[in-house]
């Protein structure tokens, strides 16, 4: 493990995992800054093997590291997640669903060292960022997360309690009846309110797909990884709430965004 560097080159971010002085280190940079990242890598990668994964792996091999090896991104993500699960004391022999929320979202069935991609969706971090540009004219991920945390989605979403008012609803009133359905209010609502609604819509959609996929594969244990969750407490809290409300047992892996890079590194 000490003699390899794992690079997960995704649609938005470059994630890097490497071991130095017996400790695993992580680094990430946006795709737009990858030239700087790889100049730094060339300095530290002397006598080390570069192992690539992700959608941009082929381009990086061609342009920067012609001797590098390439590992399938789904294999890398699952093996890296298994490694992190063991580090956190989770039972990797128990059947579980691994959900990787990157630019899009992928679902994997994991049982021990056996894993299989079982579902995918275009709803993910790219959705959040795209709507951020459209609705808040912002392309900075931390700023959009901060906006979503300060907003009030009830300003633009039609909630269950809005429909039943003044009666008591038969289900929790803060649940969404329809996303962005307060069409008149949407125009005058703040960017924060709109981003709160978008983040919640992403969380609801991913949860609904997770509930269905977990039922199909007869498990309630769901493990979340992916760059969209990094520093995104509002999304983690929403997923945790909706999953538990749906009878699932959610867990968020620390450093889960680097699962692909770790899995690539471990493949050498």
Asked whether the beta carbons of 264 and 9 are under 8 A apart, the reply is: no
What residues contact residue 121 under an 8 Å CB cut-off, 6+ apart? Answer: 104, 105, 205, 206, 209
d(CA 80, CA 74): 10
Which tokens in the block code for residue 82? 């298994």
Which neighbouring-strand residues pair with 52? 7, 70
- Token pair 């929403």 is found at 238
- Token pair 């244990």 is found at 221
112 conformational bin, left if phi > 0, alpha if psi -120 to 50, beta if neither: left
Q: Which whole-number Å values give the CA distances from 39 to 14, 24, 35, 43, 174, in the listed order?
A: 13, 20, 6, 7, 49
Q: Does 237 qualify as catalytic in the annotation? A: no
Cis peptide before 180 (omega within 30 of 0): no
Asked whether the beta carbons of 202 and 237 are under 8 A apart, the reply is: no
Q: Which of 20, 73, 88, 152 is catalytic?
A: 73
How many Cβ atoms from other residues are within 10 Å of residue 7's Cβ? Answer: 33
What 3-state DSSP class applies to 84? helix
149 conformational bin, left if phi > 0, alpha if psi -120 to 50, beta if neither: alpha
Residue positions annotated with a catalytic role:
73
């Amino acid at each position: 493990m000490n003699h390899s560097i794992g690079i997960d080159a995704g649609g938005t971010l470059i994630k890097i995992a490497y071991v130095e002085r017996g400790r695993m280190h992580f680094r990430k940079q946006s795709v737009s800054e990858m030239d700087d990242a790889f100049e730094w890598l060339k300095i530290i990668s002397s006598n080390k093997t570069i192992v690539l994964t992700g959608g941009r792996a082929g381009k990086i091999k061609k342009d920067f590291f012609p001797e590098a090896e390439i590992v399938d991104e789904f294999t890398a993500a699952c093996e890296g997640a298994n490694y992190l699960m063991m580090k956190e004391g989770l039972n990797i022999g128990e059947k579980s669903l691994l959900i990787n929320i990157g630019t899009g979202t992928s679902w994997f069935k994991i049982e021990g060292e056996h894993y299989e991609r079982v579902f995918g969706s275009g709803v993910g971090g790219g959705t959040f960022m795209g709507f951020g540009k459209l609705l808040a004219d912002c392309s900075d991920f931390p700023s959009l997360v901060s906006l979503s945390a300060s907003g009030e989605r009830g300003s633009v979403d039609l909630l269950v309690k809005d429909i039943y008012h003044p009666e008591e609803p038969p289900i929790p009133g803060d649940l969404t009846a329809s996303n962005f359905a307060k069409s008149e209010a949407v125009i005058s609502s703040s960017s924060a309110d709109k981003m709160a609604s978008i983040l919640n819509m992403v969380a609801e959609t991913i949860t609904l797909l997770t509930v269905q996929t977990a039922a199909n594969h007869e498990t309630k244990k769901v493990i979340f990884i992916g760059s969209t969750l990094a520093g995104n407490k509002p999304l983690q809290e929403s997923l945790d709430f909706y999953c538990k409300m749906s009878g699932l047992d959610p867990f968020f892996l620390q450093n889960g965004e680097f699962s692909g890079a770790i899995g690539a590194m471990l493949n050498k």
